[in-house]
C-alpha cells in the first residue's frame, strides 16, 4: 500500500470555492489519502453542501473563526493521531492537478534530505502566469523581496532551494512537523508560512520548490480579496511580529526605519485615494503589533492621529508611530 497522505483544507464561508477544491482533490491519482476539512464556524451552508457531496471527507467543526494557524494545527494534530506519513495542506480556493501527490511524494521519497516542498502555483484565471515561484526574504523591510523568474527556475534543472514554502499548497513529511512544530498561532493568518519555513531552516530543514505547475490559486478569498482591509491589517501587523521573532539585531534596526516609512506612506496613499478603511487597517496593524495585540486581538490606532491631509497632521502621525516604536523596544 502507498504511504498515507493527509490533505488538510480550511473552510470559512467559502462554499463555492471549497466545493470546487474538493472536486479536484477527490480526482487525485493516488490510492491512500484522507481529506480532513476544518471549518471555522461557517454560516453559508458550506458544511451541509460538503457533507452531501463528499461523504469520505473528515470534517472538523470549530464553533468560531479561529484563523488560519489554529485551524490548520487542529487538522494536522488530528492526522498525526492516525498515522499519516505525509501532509498536503491546501487553501480552499485552489484547484489541483491529479498528479500532485504522486509527483511531490516521489520528490521527497527520492531525496532523503528533503522534507518540505511546494510546487509552482499559477493563477486560477490565468494558468500560464505564476503566482508562487519560490521566495527570498528581504530582512531589511520584512517583506518578500522577489520570486524567481521562470528562466532561472528552468536553469536549475530540478528542485530549487527557497526561503520558505507556501502554505497555499505545501507537501511535507511527518518528520518535518515533528521537528519544526505546528504553525505559530501568534500570527492568526499571513506570514505564518514564512515563520514556519524560517524556523525549519534554523533546524536544518530547508524548503524547496518543485518546478512544475500543480496548483491553481484564486487568491485571498477568505479575507475579502487581495486588497481587503483584513489583508492589510494582518500583513502590516504580522510583518512586525515575524521580524521581532527572527531577525538579528542589526536587521531589526534597519527594519524599524523601513517599517515606519512604509506604514505611514501606505496610510497616506490609501487615504488620499479615498480608501480610508484600508488606510485605517494599515495603522491598526502597526498599532496592534507595537502593543502586543497578536493572535486574534486587535488594537485600534488613535483616531485623532490619523492625519488625512495637511503637513502638521502628517508630522503628528509620524511622531506617534516613532514614539510607539521606541517605547516598544524600551519595554523589551
CA distance 79 to 61: 15
* 22 contacts 16 by C-beta, under 8 angstroms: no
Q: What pLDDT is attached to residue 311? A: 41
Using alpha carbons only, what angle is made at residue 231 by residues 230 and 237, rounded to the nearest 5 degrees? 90
C-alpha closest to that of 185 among 68, 56, 308: 68
List Cβ neighbours of 185 (8 Å cut-off, separation of 6 or more): 67, 69, 70, 73, 295
pTM of the entire structure?
0.90
CA distance 280 to 264: 11
Determine whether 85 is exposed, middle or buried from the number of CB atoms within 10 Å of its CB (0-12, 13-18, 19+). Answer: middle
> Phi first, then psi: what are they for 65, rounded to 5°?
-75, 105
> Phi first, then psi: what are they for 214, rounded to 5°?
-125, -5
Q: What is the mean pLDDT of each run of 10 residues along the chain (332 residues)?
A: 95 96 98 97 96 97 96 98 96 98 93 93 92 89 76 86 95 97 96 96 96 90 67 94 90 86 90 93 92 92 61 58 63 55
Q: What pLDDT is attached to residue 230? A: 92
The full DSSP string for 73-140 is HHHHHHHHHTT-SEEEEE-TTEEE-TTHHHHHHHHHHH-TT--EEEEEEEESS-TTSEEE---EEETT
Half-sphere exposure of 172 (CA within 13 A, CB side): 31
Amino acid at each position: 500500500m502507498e504511504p498515507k497522505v493527509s490533505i488538510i483544507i480550511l473552510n470559512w464561508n467559502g462554499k463555492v470555492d471549497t466545493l470546487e477544491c474538493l472536486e479536484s482533490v477527490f480526482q487525485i491519482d493516488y490510492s491512500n489519502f484522507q481529506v480532513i476539512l476544518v471549518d471555522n464556524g461557517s454560516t453559508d451552508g458550506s458544511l451541509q453542501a460538503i457533507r452531501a457531496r463528499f461523504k469520505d471527507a473528515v470534517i472538523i467543526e470549530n464553533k468560531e473563526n479561529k484563523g488560519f494557524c489554529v485551524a490548520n494545527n487542529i487538522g494536522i494534530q488530528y492526522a498525526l493521531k492516525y498515522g499519516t506519513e505525509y501532509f498536503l495542506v491546501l487553501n480552499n480556493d485552489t484547484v489541483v492537478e491529479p498528479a500532485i501527490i504522486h509527483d511531490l511524494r516521489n520528490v521527497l521519497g527520492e531525496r532523503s534530505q528533503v522534507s518540505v516542498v511546494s510546487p509552482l502555483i499559477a493563477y486560477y484565471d490565468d494558468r500560464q502566469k505564476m503566482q508562487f515561484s519560490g521566495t527570498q526574504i528581504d530582512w531589511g523591510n520584512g517583506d518578500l523581496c522577489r520570486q524567481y523568474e521562470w528562466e532561472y527556475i528552468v536553469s536549475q534543472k530540478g528542485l530549487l532551494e527557497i526561503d520558505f514554502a507556501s502554505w497555499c499548497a505545501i507537501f511535507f513529511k511527518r518528520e518535518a512537523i515533528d521537528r519544526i512544530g505546528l504553525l505559530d498561532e501568534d500570527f492568526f493568518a499571513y506570514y505564518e508560512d514564512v515563520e514556519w519555513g524560517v524556523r525549519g531552516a534554523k533546524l536544518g530543514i530547508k524548503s524547496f520548490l518543485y518546478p512544475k505547475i500543480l496548483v491553481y490559486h484564486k487568491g485571498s478569498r477568505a479575507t475579502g480579496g487581495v486588497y481587503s482591509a483584513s489583508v492589510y491589517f494582518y500583513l502590516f501587523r504580522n510583518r512586525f511580529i515575524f521580524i521581532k521573532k527572527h531577525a538579528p539585531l542589526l536587521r531589526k534596526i534597519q527594519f524599524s526605519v523601513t517599517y515606519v516609512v512604509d506604514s505611514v506612506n501606505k496610510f497616506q496613499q490609501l487615504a488620499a485615494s479615498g480608501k480610508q478603511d484600508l488606510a485605517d487597517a494599515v495603522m491598526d496593524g502597526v498599532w496592534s503589533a507595537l502593543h502586543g495585540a497578536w493572535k486574534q486581538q486587535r488594537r485600534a490606532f488613535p483616531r485623532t492621529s490619523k492625519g488625512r491631509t495637511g503637513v502638521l497632521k502628517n508630522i503628528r502621525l509620524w511622531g506617534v508611530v516613532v514614539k510607539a516604536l521606541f517605547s516598544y523596544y524600551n519595554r523589551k
